[in-house]
Amino acid sequence: MEHSFFRELLHYNQPKDSSLRWIGAGLCMLSVLFTGYFSHQLAIASFGSLGIFTFLYSRPLPIKQSMLRLSTIGSFLLLSNFLGMLSTHLHWTAPLVVALVGFIGRLFFRLYGIAKPGAFFVVMVTAMGASTSIPLQKIPVMSLYFLIGVAFSLFFAAVLSLFDQRKPESSNLLSLTQRINNDPAVIIDSLFYAAVLFLAVYLSFGLQLKNPYWMVVSCAAILQGDNLRAMLHRNIQRIFGSIIGLMIAALLLTLHLSVLQTLVVITLLFMTVEFFIPRNYALAQFFTTPMALMLSMLVRHQYLYTLIQYRFLGIVLGGMLGLGAAWIMTTGLIFYNQKFSLDENFDNETE
């Protein structure tokens, strides 16, 4: 089993995805970063880069259906980030806001079969909003910058769909009640997800981490796994990949790149991440970490080594919290209610 487990960690998948995905992601990132650069408003680059996560939910669908899907998700992301920013003015509400958004997001994405990244980006933009210190009167402006990223996502998704040769996916037209009846475990799964996120936000603020959202994001990333084995894979891969990524970040951030050079490097890193995510999660983390750190320094100009310290600490703590909480719930459900048939153990892996 041990040999098989570690071999799975290093396995390089060969997904049947389209190169349009990571090319489109790069175009979205480059567009929003350059909009901020040429308008001399790097805040557009920072907040707009969150809006382009909308593009990552694009699928081979008829154009009208695809635009409706992405518009709905983009609006959800926008509202989530807005609520996160509002919560900073009443700090005690931050854990509640992230947990509530996480619950609704987990419920919505699972019921409507929106595959990975699922609710992950929704939680991420909410946690990032809850970690900012933006005056109340400037929050609508930051949301407008976020909306620019959503607009670029819709535009490039529409354009690239004209070149997508993949067969459109079929949609399942079921009512909300039917969807819940087909997946009755979705309620308790979403409640658990929200409870763990609440604890992650509470601890990250209580520990006074420099960028508290990193712990929350890491926890949410681990909970993306389909079962305990997959979560353990993700935790090990995330920690190992982040260590290498921090080394790459330290090198890049000491090169004293100009702002324009930094924007180009961020775009290339983003495209590389999107290429490797479905192939090997650890490899993707090599490039996720320097990209995240460079985006953080773009506007905040934080001290490099402080960023590296807290990034690694947040990843480790968030990963351990997510894995530990998932183990507790899975073990408890199996012990008290065998009819759930979760099949969660280290000897089996869902396909």
Amino acid in the structure at residue 175: S
Consecutive 10-residue averages of pLDDT for the chain (351 residues): 58 73 90 92 89 89 88 95 92 91 92 82 91 89 95 93 74 75 83 91 82 84 78 81 85 83 91 86 86 76 60 83 82 64 46 37
Do residues 279 and 12 make contact, with C-beta atoms less than 8 angstroms apart? yes
Domain boundaries, the chain: 2-163+185-340
Report the C-alpha gap between 341 and 344 in whole angstroms.
Answer: 8
Report the C-alpha gap between 106 and 120 in whole angstroms.
Answer: 8
3-state secondary structure of 350: coil
284 Cβ contact partners less than 8 Å away, ≥ 6 residues apart: 241, 273, 276, 277
Give alpha helix (H) positions in the chain.
2-10, 19-38, 42-51, 63-87, 94-111, 120-130, 139-161, 176-182, 186-206, 213-222, 228-253, 259-276, 281-300, 304-336
Report the C-alpha gap between 304 and 249 in whole angstroms.
Answer: 9
Do residues 84 and 146 make contact, with C-beta atoms less than 8 angstroms apart? no
Per-residue model confidence as pLDDT tens digits over 6-39: 666 667 777 777 677 888 899 999 999 999 999 9
338 Cβ contact partners less than 8 Å away, ≥ 6 residues apart: none
Burial classification of residue 289, based on how many CB atoms lie within 10 Å of its CB (0-12 exposed, 13-18 middle, 19 or more buried): buried
Amino acid in the structure at residue 333: L
Do residues 318 and 62 make contact, with C-beta atoms less than 8 angstroms apart? no
Do residues 83 and 66 make contact, with C-beta atoms less than 8 angstroms apart? no
Nearest partner of 54 among 156, 162, 140, 193, judged by Cα: 156
